[in-house]
Structure formats: C-alpha cells, structure tokens
Amino acid sequence: MSSRKPPVTPAQRPRNPGPPGSVHDGAGAPSRPPVLRQPGRAADPDHRSARHPAQRPAPATRPAPRSPRMHPTLVAVAHGSRDPRALHTVLDLLERVRELRPALDVRLGHIELNRPLLADTLRDTDGAAVLVPLLLGRGTHVKRDLPAAAARAGHLRIRIADPLGPHPLLVEALFERLLEAGWTPGTAVVLASAGSLDPDSAADTRRSAELLSERLGGVPVVPAYASAATPGVADAVRTLAARGHRRAAVASYFTAPGRFASASAAAASGPAAEPLGAHPALARLVLRRYDEALARGARAPELATA
C-alpha cells in the first residue's frame, strides 16, 4: 500500500480563523468587505455598533440654531386705533405672516393709541430689525416718525421698508374685498383712504386707484380721503352720481377697521367693502417689503446703524 497521502480537497482545507471584519471571519464563508462610509452619512445598519458615538451624525430632525444676524426681526408698524377691532385684525394679519415664514421673528409696534407701542417693541428687540409699515403710502409717519424711532433705538441695526402701497398685491386684495361686498362689473368705485397733507401720499393713492381701475376692467375709480385732503368720500360719491354712476361702491383702502373706515363706508351709495385686514395677499406683501429692504441692505457693506 502506498504511503502517499491523498490530495486535500478545497472542502477539507481548514477554515481561516481571521478576525471579524476580515475577508474571512472564521464562519467558513467570506464576509462582506468593510463598508467605507463618507463622513456625515448614516451608518450601515450592520455596522452601527462599530461607530464611535462621537462620530455619529446628529439626528436630521434636530433644528440648527438660528442666528439673529441671519434673520433680522420683522417689526410690523401699525398706526393704532381706538376701535378694538383694529388690534385684532392686525394680530390676525401677522399670524398669516408667521404661517408663511415660521422661522421669522415677527413682532408688532404701534405709532400711537395701542400697545405695544413701537418704542417698547424696539427696546425689547436685539440685533437687527426691519420696520415694515402697515401703511398704504408715503406720509409723515413713514418719512418722519419711523426714522425717528429707529434713531432712538441705538442698540439695533435697523432698516425701514417701503409702505405697502401702491402694489399689485394690494389691488388684488381690494378687488376681492369689493367682490365680497357685492360689487358687480361696471359699477364705479370710490377708493377711500385716510388722507395726508404729504403730496407723495396722495400720489400713491392715485396710483392705487389707477391700478384698481385696470383690475376692474376700466370702470372709474376715484381716490377720496377721510381727512386732511380732498375730495372727501361723500363728495366723490356725489361727483360720480353727477356723471351717471348713481350706485357707486366704496373700496376701503385701510389696513384695519377704525373711525375713518366706518365713516367712509357710510358714505357709499352702493356696496361698501371691508378694510384689507388679514387678506392673504396683504400677508404676502408684508414679507415682500421685508425682503426688498434686506435686498437693498445686502448691497451695502453692513446694516445701517440707527
């Protein structure tokens, strides 16, 4: 009998007792090669235990800390009114603004008559802020009162946005308020606003009247004022009646209810629309003015110091 040993077959070769994680792990079959993961990617489920806790990425749902320098506070500046409906309306409007941009710090300040007053809001604000006037044209409050308030808030870097009007989004809100009040095509309209001694404010109201006339298909839209300027709302209604428009509607060019808005509506010979209030287009316009002010500031080396 021959003393040669028979050749060893592959099945009879001893298993490689290599360490776990090597090409062979001692279980008799090749294991998967190590997974090379890029930093910051989630670990393979089979290798989570091998990753040091300090190397594991933060949960994706953890919000990143927000720097106030990245998002200046939006301070909406309302005029203020003794009518209790005015404050509720402005608060509803700002809730719509927050819904559109949840990460933005949105605050309210009044020029007079309601709290919080603008000075108090600015005192409690840090870093940077954009004042967005809830006013519909250039007038004394926009040109004088807001810059003065910004100058007194020396701890803040402040930009002042343009007033809301004139703008197509305002016209869309006016149009829908008229429809809600029962306006029908062909009916002439009086655009009733608060009024101002500043000629720029009157120019802004006239421009809004022109835009609204275009939106209504070319019907006459006459600007009129509740105070400080002419014509008054009742006079504008009579003028339209003399031209054959005996059922004129009144479009309320006011942000919120108040004495002027109520007096203007009472002068209508046809449907009288509600103030702009918390209309969705108005909320979008508030953010549009905020963004425009930031874009202007981005072209400068830094925020203007009050």
Query: What pLDDT digit, counting tens, does each position of 55-91 carry?
Result: 444 444 444 444 445 699 999 999 999 999 999 999 9
**Which residues, at least 6 apart from 89, have a Cβ–Cβ distance to it below 8 Å?**
255, 256, 257, 275, 277, 278
Half-sphere exposure of 232 (CA within 13 A, CB side): 11
Q: Which residue has the higher pLDDT, 228 or 39?
A: 228
What integer pLDDT is reported at residue 299 of this predicted model?
54
CA–CA distance, 288 with 286 (Å, rounded to integer): 5
216 pLDDT higher than 50: yes
What integer pLDDT is reported at residue 298 of this predicted model?
61
Query: What pLDDT digit, counting tens, does each position of 268-304 carry?
Result: 999 999 999 999 999 999 999 999 999 997 654 444 4
- The closest of 263, 91, 275 to 176, measured between CA atoms, is 275
- The burial of 69, by beta-carbon neighbours within 10 Å (0-12 exposed, 13-18 middle, 19 or more buried), is given as exposed
What integer pLDDT is reported at residue 297 of this predicted model?
74
CA 75, 79, 82 angle in degrees (round to 5)? 125
Whole-angstrom Cα Rg for the chain: 33
What integer pLDDT is reported at residue 28 of this predicted model?
42
CB-CB neighbours of 306 under 10 Å: 19
Q: Which residue has the higher pLDDT, 38 or 118?
A: 118
Question: Hey, what amino acid is at 84?
Answer: P
CA–CA distance, 134 with 137 (Å, rounded to integer): 9
The stretch 162-189 carries a mean pLDDT of 98
CA–CA distance, 94 with 60 (Å, rounded to integer): 30
CA–CA distance, 248 with 244 (Å, rounded to integer): 10
The b/e string for 180-204 (b: 16+ C-beta within 10 A; e otherwise) is ebebeeebbbbbbbbbbebeebbeb
What integer pLDDT is reported at residue 34 of this predicted model?
43
- The burial of 129, by beta-carbon neighbours within 10 Å (0-12 exposed, 13-18 middle, 19 or more buried), is given as buried
What integer pLDDT is reported at residue 220 of this predicted model?
98
The stretch 139-152 carries a mean pLDDT of 94
In this structure, are residues 252 and 272 in contact, taking their beta carbons and an 8 Å threshold? yes
Average pLDDT, the chain: 83
pTM: 0.75
What integer pLDDT is reported at residue 22 of this predicted model?
40
173 pLDDT higher than 90: yes
- Residue 212 tokens read as 């609204």
Task: Specify the DSSP class assigned to residue 143.
Answer: I
Task: Specify the DSSP class assigned to residue 111.
Answer: S
119 pLDDT higher than 70: yes
